[in-house]
């Protein structure tokens, strides 16, 4: 095997290893192992259950100001009315900034410099759950029933489709190790991922939280710190669901449509990625074959000798063009041989 081919394969092997190491956590999301940590029907719907409630009775929600859109007011009020014994906190942008500056000054610069406001809205919910505990609910999630059964876990998240977990409904005791891990990794994932949708999703959003969740439980978790999962049928669109969902996702840009399409056709997206990689590899190899071929070297020598011959003659073209060409061809062939 030529040394050039060996180098070619080695470089691409290194690229593959780096790519796999950087995307391993994302690839693990293709395997859904949320069922084993899910709330059971007994835990959710048995009114006579005597399980101890661990999560504080606090409902957290976020918005830019206290003047929330009309479309979300009914859902917000339903959550308040169903839980008169819960403390309710609506975190405005101003309150969030003051809280981070006061309690987590090491994160203030990152918090201020997020490119998209939704990134701050994502991040603040992790900090307040870690700090105070309680339940975070997106404003487009309107309560249908009391949340008490969810408080029996030390922390919970909800399963999303097609894979991973979401950050629109979460609960936790104060200082839960999962949410400590979530806030401690925010700086590491604060990058520009080119697409606004991917940047938001992977820096602070559901994709980020899904990766942290996979990392958190990779080597096992003590039973008291297991993160329980609320499955989709218990979340919405069923008789026993906890929430009614209204219109949301106001931050989505045009690139989100393409990402949603890929998310709902994951096998085809993966196949397309491998096909694109194969095409690029084939083009690189074809280019390599051209550069090491005799034709390319002949062309290079012809151009080089044409230049030196003209220099030697001082630009004198007294001979006919055909004779010049024949001499150059003979000279080049002699050098190659």
Q: CA torsion angle for 52, 58, 63, 69 (degrees, to 10)?
A: 90
What is the pLDDT, as a whole number, of residue 310? 57
The contacts of residue 209 (CB under 8 Å, 6+ apart) are 126, 157, 164, 165, 166, 167, 182
Residue at 261 is within a domain: no
**pLDDT higher than threshold 80 for residue 113:** yes
Residue at 306 is within a domain: yes
What is the pLDDT, as a whole number, of residue 334? 53
**pLDDT higher than threshold 90 for residue 183:** yes
Lowest mean pLDDT among 62-66, 121-125, 315-319: 315-319
What is the pLDDT, as a whole number, of residue 32? 77
Domain boundary among 253, 280, 307: 253
What is the pLDDT, as a whole number, of residue 311? 58
pLDDT band of 44, cuts 50, 70, 90: very high
Q: What is the mean pLDDT of residues 32-38?
A: 88
Residue at 263 is within a domain: no
pLDDT band of 282, cuts 50, 70, 90: confident
What is the pLDDT, as a whole number, of residue 251? 45
What is the pLDDT, as a whole number, of residue 279? 83
Q: Residue 290 sits in which domain range?
A: 272-336
Instruction: Mark whether 228 and 154 lie in a shared domain.
Output: yes
Instruction: Mark whether 202 and 315 lie in a shared domain.
Output: no
Instruction: Mark whether 302 and 223 lie in a shared domain.
Output: no
First to last CA, the chain: 22
203 contacts 193 by C-beta, under 8 angstroms: yes
Instruction: Mark whether 182 and 300 lie in a shared domain.
Output: no
**pLDDT higher than threshold 60 for residue 325:** no
Instruction: Mark whether 247 and 280 lie in a shared domain.
Output: no
What is the pLDDT, as a whole number, of residue 193? 75
Backbone angles phi, psi at 226, to 5 degrees: -65, 135
Residue at 262 is within a domain: no
Instruction: Mark whether 35 and 175 lie in a shared domain.
Output: yes
CATH of the domain at 104: 3.90.550
Burial of 47 (0-12, 13-18, 19+ CB in 10 A): exposed
Reported as a single tens digit per residue, the pLDDT across 202-254 is 899 999 999 999 999 988 899 999 999 999 999 998 889 999 988 765 444 54
The count of C-alpha atoms lying within 13 angstroms of the C-alpha of 313, restricted to the half-sphere facing its C-beta, is 12
Lowest mean pLDDT among 181-185, 203-207, 316-320: 316-320
225 contacts 181 by C-beta, under 8 angstroms: no
**pLDDT higher than threshold 60 for residue 289:** yes
Instruction: Mark whether 193 and 57 lie in a shared domain.
Output: yes
Instruction: Mark whether 52 and 158 lie in a shared domain.
Output: yes
Residue at 1 is within a domain: no
What predicted TM-score, i.e. pTM, was given to this entire model? Answer: 0.74
Instruction: Mark whether 176 and 223 lie in a shared domain.
Output: yes
Residue at 39 is within a domain: yes
pLDDT band of 63, cuts 50, 70, 90: very high
Length of the chain: 337
Total domain count, the chain: 2
What is the pLDDT, as a whole number, of residue 153? 97
Residue at 3 is within a domain: no
- Structure tokens that stand for 236 in this block: 């919405």
- Structure tokens that stand for 80 in this block: 């308040």
Backbone angles phi, psi at 156, to 5 degrees: -150, 155
Domain boundary among 191, 220, 253: 253
Instruction: Mark whether 212 and 312 lie in a shared domain.
Output: no
Strand order in the sheet with 58-62: 87-91, 58-62, 134-137, 165-172, 155-159, 228-230
Strands (E), 173-271: 228-230, 243-245
Reported as a single tens digit per residue, the pLDDT across 147-161 is 999 999 999 999 998
DSSP per position, 99-111: HHHHH-GGGHHHH
Residue at 101 is within a domain: yes
């Amino acid at each position: 095997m030529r040394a050039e081919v060996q180098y070619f394969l080695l470089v691409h092997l290194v690229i593959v290893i780096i790519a796999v190491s950087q995307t391993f956590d994302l690839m693990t999301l293709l395997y859904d192992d949320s069922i084993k940590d899910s709330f059971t029907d007994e835990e959710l719907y048995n009114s006579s259950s005597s399980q101890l409630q661990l999560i504080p009775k606090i409902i957290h929600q976020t918005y830019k100001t206290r003047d929330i859109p009309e479309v979300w007011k009914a859902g917000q009020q339903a959550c308040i009315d169903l839980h008169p014994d819960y403390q309710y906190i609506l975190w405005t942008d101003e309150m969030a900034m003051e809280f981070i500056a006061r309690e987590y000054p090491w994160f203030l610069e990152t918090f201020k410099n997020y490119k998209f406001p939704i990134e701050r809205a994502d991040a603040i919910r992790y900090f307040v759950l870690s700090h105070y505990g309680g339940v975070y609910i997106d404003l487009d999630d309107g309560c249908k029933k009391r949340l008490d059964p969810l408080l029996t876990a030390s922390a919970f998240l909800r399963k999303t489709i097609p894979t991973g977990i979401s950050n629109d409904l979460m609960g936790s005791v104060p200082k839960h190790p999962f949410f400590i891990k979530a806030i401690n990794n925010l700086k590491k994932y604060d990058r520009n991922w080119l697409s606004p949708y991917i940047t938001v999703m992977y820096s602070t959003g559901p994709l980020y939280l899904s990766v942290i969740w996979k990392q958190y439980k990779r080597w096992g978790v003590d039973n008291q710190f297991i993160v329980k999962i609320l499955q989709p049928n218990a979340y919405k669109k069923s008789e026993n669901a906890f929430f009614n969902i209204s219109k949301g996702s106001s931050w989505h840009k045009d690139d989100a449509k393409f990402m949603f399409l890929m998310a709902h056709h994951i096998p085809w997206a993966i196949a397309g990625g491998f096909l694109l990689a194969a095409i690029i590899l084939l083009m690189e190899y074809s280019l390599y074959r051209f550069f090491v071929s005799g034709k390319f070297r002949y062309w290079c020598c012809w151009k080089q000798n044409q230049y030196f011959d003209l220099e030697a003659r001082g630009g004198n073209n007294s001979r006919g063009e055909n004779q010049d060409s024949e001499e150059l061809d003979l000279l080049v062939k002699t050098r190659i041989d």
